[in-house]
Structure 1
Amino acid sequence: MQTSKSTTRIISISFFTLALLGCQSAYYGALEKVGIHKRDVMVSRVESANETQLEAKQQFQTALQKFKSVRQFNGGNLENIYETLNDEYETSAALADKINSRINDIESVSDALFEEWEKELSEYTSESLKQKSAQQLTKTKSQYRRLIRAMKNAETSMKPVLNVFKDQVLFLKHNLNAQAIASLKGELNNIESNVATLIKQMNKSIDEANQFIKTMSQ
């Protein structure tokens, strides 16, 4: 019987996933041999994500100011304006991608940590210690869910901002004239509103990350 292309693709993906999981297990195992546990890796990754969030927050605020500066444009080199705004858009988009990667890293280690934690509950001989560990696991999972939800909400809020940035930069690229400037000026209120929503979501995410790091470090 001939194997269909879709079946072959599914099998390939399955083998890749198993290989990836095997690599991750080996990676965490190697770290634990030198005293670095999954809990430590998780805290480190949340810290890295938080640093990137702070960097992104500053970048989006800077980009907004650059876009708003067009209000004072009364003639001059539109090519320079395009280059400036395009740089701001590309930097913002790169940081958004970086945050997505950071979130994926956190989710990866959290899966491994919670799976291990659940499994080790059955190894307790003391019922009271088992119960305390189970309660701590439940609490940590709850905090983790709040953290990831906040991070993903912030990430989602970046998309409408990036979309408007990109649209205006593209239009300006192909229309280096007064019409393009007028279009950008007309979108500034929308841009400001989207950025304000984004900053609000990012502040929530940053606060959740700080609280999670504090709890996990105790």
Structure 2
Amino acid sequence: MKAKQLVIPVLSALVMFTLLFTAGCRSVYNATMENVFGYEKRELFKKSVTALQSEQKDAQKEFKDALTRLKELYGFQGGELESVYGKVKSSYDRCDSEAKAVHTRVGNMEDLAKSMFNEWEKEIQQYTNPSLAAASREQLRLTKDRYAQLSRTVRDAEATMQPVLGQLKDNVLFLKHNLNASAIGSLQGEATNIQKQIEELLTRMNASIAESDKFIQSLPK
């Protein structure tokens, strides 16, 4: 009987998490973590920034790999073209997947930031000591300013992903439709442009990762 009593709550918890994740409902998940498991909004927000930073590093790694694959493609001197195409296609697919993951992380961070700032503003009204209220209000202002800078940098890096993905997809499709050496020659004309775009993206992602790290360090421990 005791075993059944233990199993039911565990199964219920598993079902709840499955529903939350399959529905893709960030707000419900965040509320559950806060209300059921006792996480503070500030803690959840900090975790979301850290998770985004980690996701950006993964995406950066995949775009670097894509750049390597493209250089191999443009330097193709003969051999198994099908194999080269397969590598470029796989690299594009991974980049696309990572870009979507970054987009999801950015949305989660923004949801939590809005929720945290709203709660902070309401709680300032509960102070009875004017000096403490003023200090908290100033801390809120500074945190908002730092977050605004982080958000701009993150969004800037995210937006730069889309043109790069478009160029990568064009290369993949053109190769798919023209698996011959002359197709490589046609793509080489675009080589400088797409390589420049990827390098710019990597630079922006570096800036975003650094900004995330600076913001995390600025949060109260």
Cα distance, 1:55 vs structure 2 = 1.3
Distance 1:198 1:23, change over 3 A: closer
Cα distance, 1:62 vs structure 2 = 1.4
Give the partner amino acid of 2:203: K
Cα distance in 2 between the residues matched to 1:183 and 1:121: 62
Residue from 26, 31, 34 that aligns with 1:28: 34
Contact 2:48 2:108 in 1 (8 A): yes
2:215 matched to which residue of 1? 212
Contact 1:31 1:37 in 2 (8 A): no
Give the partner amino acid of 1:83: G
Cα distance, 1:174 vs structure 2 = 1.0
Distance 1:22 1:127, change over 3 A: same
Equivalent residues in 2 for 1:109-148, closer than 5 Å: 109-148=112-151
Residue from 99, 114, 120 that aligns with 1:96: 99
Q: Secondary structure at the match of 2:150?
A: helix
Equivalent residues in 2 for 1:128-207, closer than 5 Å: 128-207=131-210
Cα distance, 1:57 vs structure 2 = 1.2
Cα distance, 1:190 vs structure 2 = 0.6
Contact 1:59 1:92 in 2 (8 A): yes
Distance 1:198 1:20, change over 3 A: closer
Deviations 1:141-195 (A, max 9, x none): 1111111111110001111111110001001001101221112222110111101
Query: Considering only aligned residues, what root-mean-square deviation do their CA atoms show, in Å?
Result: 1.6
TM-score (norm 1): 0.85
1:9 matched to which residue of 2? none
Give the partner amino acid of 1:183: S
The more displaced of 182-191 and 98-107 is 182-191
TM-score (norm 2): 0.84
Question: Is residue 80 of structure 1 aligned with residue 78 of structure 2?
Answer: no
Distance 1:193 1:20, change over 3 A: closer
Question: Is residue 41 of structure 1 aligned with residue 44 of structure 2?
Answer: yes
Contact 1:157 1:198 in 2 (8 A): yes
Cα distance, 1:58 vs structure 2 = 1.6
Distance 1:44 1:172, change over 3 A: same
Q: Secondary structure at the match of 2:37?
A: helix
Cα distance in 2 between the residues matched to 1:28 and 1:90: 35
Q: Secondary structure at the match of 1:125?
A: coil
Task: For structure 1, list consecutive stretches of 5 or more residues without a partner in the other structure.
Answer: 1-18
Contact 1:60 1:92 in 2 (8 A): yes
Residue from 50, 59, 62 that aligns with 2:62: 59
Cα distance in 1 between the residues matched to 2:118 and 2:165: 36
1:14 matched to which residue of 2? none
Cα distance in 2 between the residues matched to 1:178 and 1:21: 51
Give the partner amino acid of 1:174: H
Cα distance, 1:81 vs structure 2 = 1.1
Distance 1:116 1:51, change over 3 A: same
Task: For structure 2, list consecutive stretches of 5 or more residues without a partner in the other structure.
Answer: 1-24
How many residues in Structure 1 have an aligned counterpart in Structure 2?
197
